[in-house]
Structures are given as structure tokens and as C-alpha cells.
Amino acid sequence: MQYVSALFNGLSYGMLLFLLGAGLSLVFGVGRFINLAHGGLFIIGGYVGFTVLNELGNFWLGILIGPMVGGALGLAADLLVLRRLHGHGRELDQVLVTFGLALIIADATRAGWGGDIRSVGAPAPFDRPIEIGDFSYPTYPLVIIGVGLLVFGLLWLLLQRTRVGAMIRAAAGDPQMAQVLGVPTAPVLRLTFALGVALAALGGVVALPRQALAPGRDFEMLLLALVVVVIGGLGRIEGAFWAALLVGLTDSYGKLFFPEFTVAMIFGLLALVLIWRPEGLLGRRAV
């Protein structure tokens, strides 16, 4: 029965990683840079959700407000700083600036919410375990799996079936050509960035009943998101999805069999994928 629990644990953790990795991958696809502040947006989402729950007493409101705050911060960051660094050959500058933003977020959240570990219980009606015979499993991870699947479906529809999605795909495929053909690449990038960090913030809120909030969590999640994105292939939503599930399951079964070396196993997986397919499982080409 613990294998079944590990399966659901792995899937729900994988869905969280997908929420993070999808945003990171989208931003990379369009902007060609890695947002090192992505984990920071995850914990901002978490702290906003925590505060909303404490002040208004409603967890689901947090799920709405967290991503909105995250998206707004993403827009602000793009308008104030990142906009000035758009363009080819400035990737390093973008990475350094987002590293700076990550440091700022880490200390600002510590100043705002303190360094204590914060945790919340699962919201009703998902606070009771499901019991089938003598097997019982908490309900909330299933909610995370549902949210992950929903976001995956909506993202797929957005990218494949809407005009904005077509613009995002065009800008990701060939920014210069897209611009020549009349795609406003700078606003598209800004929108993608806001969407990506909003997804990270959503992940932070959704994760709240499963993972306690603490300083350092931002970097931990950023790193796992990077692993997911590299394994899946940069710029590919489907790649991020399957890679996130793979990493999530490696983590949960690793904890079951080799609790000391879970993280080493995840990196072993990364190394294996890189040897076998340097561009990631679903990556199209080495950039």
C-alpha cells in the first residue's frame, strides 16, 4: 500500500514541479533567458496565500490572489528592469539581474514574514483522508494533481488554440521573423513572463498545505524547476509536464527506498538524460 501512496505523492509533487517548470520553460522559450527569481515567486505566492488565509480565513481566495500578486510583480519587474535588457546577447545580464531579484525577494520575504517555518492545514472539504478498506490517503494531494492537470490543459489550449498562443509560439520559434511579420514581441514576452511567474505563485499557494514555508525553500524549488526544465527540454510545455512527473516519482519512490540519497538520485536522472539526450527528452535542438 505504501507503493500506492508513493505513487500519489510523486504525482502530486510532480504537478507542483510542473506549475513551476511550465512558467520557467515558457519564459525561456520566448525570452531565451532563465529567470532565477522563479523560486522567489513561488514563495511569494505561498506567503500571500498564507496571509490571505490568516486574514480572510479562506484558502481558495489565496489561490486566486496569489497568482494575481505574482503576475503583477512579474509585470512590474519586466517594465522596470527586464525590459531594458531584452534582446540577443544580453542573456547573461538577464540572468544576473534575476539572480539579484532572487536575493532581494529572499530577504524581503524574510523581513516581511520572518524566518519561522509556516504551515497550514488542508482546506475543507479536503482535510480528511480517503479510506478504502484499511488503506487511507489524504485527499489534498489529489487536489494538487487536479490543479496540475487543469493548468496543463488550459496552457495547451492557450498555446495551440488561441491567437495569443500562436503569437507566443511564433515569438518562441523565431523572434526576429515573428517581429517582421507583425507580432509585437516585447508585449508578448511581457505577457509570457507575467503568466509564467503567476503559475509559479499559483504553485506556491497550492503547495502550502503540503510543504511548510521557510527561508531557502525558494532556491530549493528553483533548482528542481531547473532540473525539470532541462530534463524536459527547454521551451516545451509537454516536456516540462512529463519531466515533472518523472522527477516527482523519482523523489517519492527514492524517499521510500533510498531516503538518504533522494536528491542525488534526481541529479543522477538529470545526468543520465543529459548523456542520452543533451537537448532534453522532448527538446528539439541544442541552442
Partner 1 sequence: MRLALPYSRRPAAGSVARAGVLVAAAGLACMPPLAGGYSLHLGLETVTLALAAMSLGLLVGWGGLVSLGHAAFWGLGAYAAALLSTHIGPWPWLVLPVAAAVAAGFALATGIFTLRSHGIFFLMLTLAFAQLAYVLSLQWRGLTNGDNGISGIPGLAGFEDHRALYGLAIGFLAAGYALFSQLVRSPVGQVLDAARQNEARARALGYPVFAYRLAVYALSAALTGIAGALAAHERGFVHPRDFYWVVSGVMLVVVLLGGQRALWGPVIGASVYIAVESWASARTEFWNLFLGLLLVAAVLWGRGGIAGVAGQAWRAASRIQRLALKGTDAGAAGRARV
Q: Tell me which stretch binds partner 1 (CB under 8 A): 52-60, 106-114, 167-175, 196-204.
A: 106-114
Q: Is 17 in the site for partner 1 (CB under 8 A)?
A: no
Q: If binding is defined by CB under 8 A, does position 34 make contact with partner 1?
A: yes
Minimum Å gap between C-beta 260 and partner 1 is 6
Q: Does 59 bind partner 1 (CB under 8 A)?
A: no
Question: Rule CB under 8 A: is residue 33 a binding residue for partner 1?
Answer: yes
Shortest separation between residue 99's beta carbon and partner 1, angstroms:
5
Query: Shortest gap between Cβ of 169 and partner 1 (angstroms)?
Result: 20
Identify the residue whose cell numbers are 489565496: 62
Residue 195 as a binder of partner 1 (CB under 8 A): the answer is no
Integer Cα distance of 251 and 242 in angstroms: 14
For the record, the C-alpha cell of 70 comes out as 505574482
Q: Which lies closer to partner 1 via its Cβ, residue 53 or residue 73?
A: 73
Residue 32 interacting with partner 1 (CB under 8 A): yes
Q: How far apart are the first and last CA of the chain?
A: 44
Cβ closer to partner 1: 63 or 227?
227
- Our finding on whether 267 is near partner 1 (CB under 8 A) is yes
Residues lying near partner 1 in the complex (CB under 8 A) are found at: 28, 32-34, 81, 84-85, 91-93, 95-97, 99-104, 106-108, 110-111, 219, 223, 226-227, 230, 234, 260-261, 263-264, 267, 270-271, 274-275, 278, 286-287
